Amino acid sequence: MPSFFPFYYLTIEAGCLLASIVFLRRESISAWGLQRWYLSLMVLTELAGTWWISTQGSKNQWIYNLYLPCIPVFLGLLLYRIINTLVPTHRNWLYGSWLCCGTAFVVETWLKDGIAVYHYQTRLLVNSLISLACLYYFVMQFRVPGYRNLKRDPGFCWVLGAACFYFGHIILVQASAIIAEADETIFGLTLHTALYSIILTSLYGLWTFAFYLQRPAPH
């Protein structure tokens, strides 16, 4: 069962990548179009990480550390664009968040003598910034006047998926000690694995739906 889950994660990630390639093929170099590159990078990282640990037998955290800076860059760009369509937002917020994440990454690399050990603090900062941006977007949906069909809005669905995963990931990481102490299983899965699977499925499920909504209209 435990070996099933890397396969499950890879499958849903690959499914989401396929959806982005199919539905966003006309987006070129826009923030939406870059999602195809981000998801490709993520799938490659997962494949590399799985390959490394199964063939080399040693820790693969350095691979995920190399992938870590890509998260605020790609996701930050699209989040900024989605929020900007709702309420004018200064680019300095985006640049500032990149600066914070970059600084945290460098400091943690220096403190941990390299990238062999996973940079949990940087990851926590990235998760927090993304969650705050998503929360800001939701608040603006209440404050900005006018009606929008949110159920068919690609930006809303994408932000909801990101909020579910990154907020949920913060909770899971902070509660990991308690979850480990509980040492319980749900349908044969450890509690952590089950909850992580739920938030990961909601992320890629909502992102796939968002890409579908963002597809070019038929002529």
Residues forming contacts to other proteins in the complex (CB under 8 A) are 134-135, 138, 141-142, 145-151, 156, 160, 163-164, 167-168, 171-172, 175, 178-179, 181-184, 186, 191, 195, 198-199
Check residue 108 and report its DSSP letter: H
Asked if residues 41 and 67 have their Cβ atoms less than 8 Å apart, the reply is yes
Q: State the minimum distance, in angstroms, from the CB of residue 193 to other proteins.
A: 13
d(CA 47, CA 57): 15
Nearer to other proteins, 81 or 192 (CB): 192
Nearer to other proteins, 58 or 176 (CB): 176
Q: State the minimum distance, in angstroms, from the CB of residue 21 to other proteins.
A: 27
3-state secondary structure of 40: helix
Q: State the minimum distance, in angstroms, from the CB of residue 16 to other proteins.
A: 18
Nearer to other proteins, 44 or 144 (CB): 144
Longest dimension (CA), the chain: 57
Q: State the minimum distance, in angstroms, from the CB of residue 38 to other proteins.
A: 20
d(CA 65, CA 67): 5
Nearer to other proteins, 49 or 168 (CB): 168
Q: State the minimum distance, in angstroms, from the CB of residue 205 to other proteins.
A: 12
Q: State the minimum distance, in angstroms, from the CB of residue 150 to other proteins.
A: 5
In the Cβ-directed half-sphere of 139, how many Cα atoms lie within 13 Å? 6
CA nearest to 196, candidates 40, 66, 5, 3: 5
d(CA 6, CA 14): 12
Nearer to other proteins, 63 or 130 (CB): 130
- Tokens read off for 82: 């989605």
Nearer to other proteins, 26 or 152 (CB): 152
Q: Is the dihedral of CA 136, 142, 143, 146 positive or negative?
A: positive
Q: State the minimum distance, in angstroms, from the CB of residue 29 to other proteins.
A: 29
d(CA 120, CA 113): 14
Nearer to other proteins, 22 or 135 (CB): 135
d(CA 11, CA 106): 32
